Amino acid sequence: MEPLTLGALVALFTVLVLFSGISVGTGLLVVATGFLFIVDGARSLEALPELFFGELNSFALLSIPMFIIMGAAISSSRAGPDLYEALERWLTRVPGGLLVSNLGACALFAAMSGSSPATCAAIGKMGIPEMRKRGYPDEVAAGSIAAGGTLGILIPPSVTMIVYGIATETSIGRLFLAGVIPGLLLTLLFIAWSIFDTWRRGAAGVALSGITYSWRQKFEILPRVLPFLAIIVGVLYALYGGIATPSETAAVGALLCIIVVMIIYKMVQPKALWAILRDSTRESVMILFIIGAAGVFSFMLSSLFITQSVAAWIGGLEVNRWVLMAIVNLFLLVAGFFLPPVAVILMSAPILLPIIIAAGFDPYWFAVIVTINMEIGLITPPVGLNLYVINGIAPDISLKKVLFGSLPFVGCMVAAIVILSVFPGLATWLPDFVMGKAI
């Protein structure tokens, strides 16, 4: 059978298996072992255990559970509500200040926790009722929080960027820096659209709030927020200052976050600490299992010459490189509708990156484009995890309203991709400035 035909069959069966409800990691293993057994026989399966564990035999992978522990410690405390309240107090006299507060809190909390669902839950529980109380439309209130939660996989430190770096063997430090300016750009686009849409609807929410806070009230909330921001800044400084590796900085950051929540929020009970370790272990094992399974899946694609044939076919297309990039974006967009970001990156990045580099695109710029596509998947059905989280914390807002409130932010993300395509330096300038030109 021709490798391209075989590749089409693999893609079809992969979709069917994953749609069956089986976990992503298990589904990838089932497809990989099944096709290897059918095409190459039973002896081809002998190396799979070694391949699986070989994918996990990397010091860089230690940064994933460490950053997850860091996020779990923050998510389990009142850091989210405190961050929201701090921004509200400082921005209350700004037109549309509540919207800015919510989206700013989403961006900061998502960066600290690295979890989109946790961000939606933490900020949404306070932000959505407050916005509705002050006259913001339900669609704006729900959609802005759902979209704001996606920023955590772009703004560093980002587990998604770490996975991309491991899958493509690119610098994690450069990837983190590449996401900073695009993350801020996306946040500003979200804020601009939210304020414009509320003003367009004639809602009262864009008016200056009648609530005022004294300087004492503004400053008294800061000691509960600034330590977490200081940890994030310290982790990034240690990473880019050459003081420690990503894994070492993540470990120190995780320890400091646990200490801070114990001191500020009195989370000293063994039950509370156990919950942090339990939740972070569960998520870490899930991601690492997907990484191992994706390694086996990639071996199957390579050993059956599917990867090479697809790359040669795409590379042989006599099309403009931007047409090629549009096709790649469409593929990533559709894949993100059905699969979590980690699975899409592990399955596609090793195949796409050589093609992208051959077409003259920067690999770190491409990482940002991939990540924004994955953000779109978090607020679009059928998976659209953030939509269901928002519907869960505000059940009186229908899923339809949450979806329609999120769609304009999908437009903002597409606009960000276009802007980054016109001005790629927005993603590449900061890494080059801080770490020098990539070789």
User: Rounded to the nearest 5 degrees, what angle is found at the Cα of 373, between the Cα atoms of 70 and 404?
Assistant: 95
pLDDT category at 95 given cuts 50, 70, 90 is low
| Total Cβ atoms within 10 A of residue 216 | 7
pTM for the model: 0.81
Give pLDDT, residue 82.
81
User: Rounded to the nearest 5 degrees, what angle is found at the Cα of 206, between the Cα atoms of 120 and 180?
Assistant: 45
For residue range 145-160, list pLDDT tens digits in order.
888 888 878 888 778 8
| Total Cβ atoms within 10 A of residue 274 | 10
Give pLDDT, residue 405.
86
Q: Which residue has the tokens 């093609």?
A: 355
Give pLDDT, residue 205.
46
Q: What is the mean pLDDT of the chain?
A: 82
* 258 has pLDDT over 80: yes
pLDDT category at 181 given cuts 50, 70, 90 is very high
Give pLDDT, residue 204.
47
Distance between CA 245 and CA 173 in Å, rounded?
9
Instruction: Please return the burial class of 262, using the count of CB atoms within 10 Å of its CB with bins 0-12, 13-18 and 19+.
Output: middle
Return the higher-pLDDT residue of 178 and 11: 178
| Least confident window among 113-117, 280-284, 400-404 | 113-117
For residue range 4-17, list pLDDT tens digits in order.
788 888 888 887 88
For residues 305 and 354, the answer to whether their CB atoms sit within 8 Å is no
Provide the 3-class DSSP secondary structure of residue 194: helix
Q: What is the mean pLDDT of residues 22-26?
A: 82
| Least confident window among 31-40, 97-106, 253-262, 280-289 | 97-106
Instruction: Name 271's Cβ contacts closer than 8 Å, sequence gap at least 6.
Output: none
